[in-house]
Amino acid sequence: PDTTTISADGQLTIAGKSLRELAHTYGTPLYIYDRSTIINACVAYQQAFTTQYSASSVRFLYASKAYISPHLARLLAEQDLGLDVVSGGEILVAQQAAFPMKHISFHGNNKSEAELELALKLGIGRIILDNWHELERLTRIARQYQQRPQVLLRIAPDVATDTHKYLQTGHAAAKFGFPLQSGEAKAALLRILQEDQLQLVGLHAHSGTLLRETRPYEECLERLLALACAVQQETGWWPEEISPGGGWGIDTAEAQQMPDIALLAQALQRKVEQLQSQLPAAMPMLVLEPGRSIIARAGVALYRIGATKATPGGIHYLFVDGGMADNIRPALYDAQYTAIAPEYMDKDSDQTYCLSGRYCESGDMLIEQVQLPALHEGDLVCLPTSGAYCLPMASNYNLVPRPAVIMIDEEQICIMERRETYDDILRRYPV
């Protein structure tokens, strides 16, 4: 986080609070979010783009799936970001925060009737249609509710990305969106315009996540505008907004350097300038959906070592009190993390450890090999850059309660999620 410092006695602090004290007060595993880092990331987006675009022609929706809570939703609203949600659950968290519903876009490839009804009832700003079933389903429900909701069509743009297979979304074989090449995307657009039960306001595509180059965004934009031009010629319809999705990368253990958000802003501006003269009408509003690049750096996972083991083969395990149930990313995507010993920042990292979790699974390794100072039972370990897609994918594997989550700044500490209790877990089971 941006507010990280090291005190004279070698203690890591965030927003002036030592991690040792936070662990003592709130227990471990603990996820800590630094409020200033979140705000700085929101401001960085706004500044990068408003030097290129006027404030009215670009809008940011935070992708809630990266991590959301009512406290965070309120902070994002204060920063003038909208939300991208993908479920009734995320909608209801936003509602709890009194988030302005008209600034919410509802994504997903299999929204249920109940979720679509909830979206209409609460007045969600945009619904993004992902396939024919949804198009029919929403048309029917909208008719029944006598509403004419604003929708975008999600296109499968056939854009390749150089990322882990599970993190690719925009290729032709992806499960999301109407395929462009087969003509289905255009057919769906024409259907919506003909039926007139839905208000078609724009086009959306999302090519992937952890992107470090601007090409996929540029290609998405190009393809969406080409489709819009073709439909405009036939029908006169022109999108009010156009969204090349989210996906901008962060610095990870594999690729240290955070790609500058200004690069993306400049590349998109160049693309817009290049295409503008060929457009039959004004460039639509540009909508971006950053998740990870807003929240990942702000979050730190804090664990306590409960046991250690040295194998005959020379592996030195540190067993922490969390692991794959609160962070599945190393096991699922081979994601690389770094670790820090927050109580010994003044000591050399001269030991090689395997940082392993508490779960009954050999693959429960947070980091296979990491350099740290000599550590023992009772010491703390923290994983920086854990703010995105760890907790949202957390499970109750082995029926272990989920961690507590706090958000801190210089003035205050707020509990974003209570530590789960055994009662919370047992409540699920009728006996």
The site for ligand LLP (CB under 6 A) is made up of 63, 65-66, 84, 107, 167, 169, 206, 209, 245-248, 289-293, 329, 333, 389
158 backbone φψ class: left, alpha, beta (φ>0; ψ -120 to 50)? left
Q: Would you say 136 is a known binding-site residue?
A: no
Q: Please tell me which residue in 42, 229, 360, 382 is annotated as part of the active site.
A: 360
d(CA 337, CA 8): 26
Element containing residue 17 per DSSP (H, E): strand 17-18
Asked about 360 being catalytic, the answer comes back as yes
CB of 373 to ligand LLP, least distance (A): 29
Name which of 125 and 247 has its Cβ closer to ligand LLP: 247
CA distances from 153 to 62, 72, 193, 235 (A): 19, 28, 12, 16
d(CA 279, CA 239): 11
Q: Would you say 306 is a known binding-site residue?
A: no
Name which of 13 and 385 has its Cβ closer to ligand LLP: 385
Name which of 22 and 94 has its Cβ closer to ligand LLP: 94
d(CA 34, CA 37): 6
Maximum distance among all Cα pairs of the chain, rounded to whole angstroms:
73
Query: Tokens 């692991």, residue?
Result: 323
Name which of 134 and 379 has its Cβ closer to ligand LLP: 134
Q: Would you say 82 is a known binding-site residue?
A: no
Query: Does 430 sit behind a cis peptide bond, omega within 30 degrees of 0 on the bond before it?
Result: no
**392 with 402: CB under 8 angstroms?**
no
CB of 75 to ligand LLP, least distance (A): 17
d(CA 217, CA 9): 46
Q: Would you say 291 is a known binding-site residue?
A: yes
Q: Would you say 329 is a known binding-site residue?
A: yes
3-class SS of residue 300: strand
Name which of 15 and 41 has its Cβ closer to ligand LLP: 41
Q: Would you say 337 is a known binding-site residue?
A: no
**Annotated binding-site members:** 247, 289-292, 329, 333, 361, 389
**Annotated binding-site members for pyridoxal 5'-phosphate:** 247, 289-292, 389
**Annotated binding-site members for substrate:** 292, 329, 333, 361, 389
Active-site residue set: 360
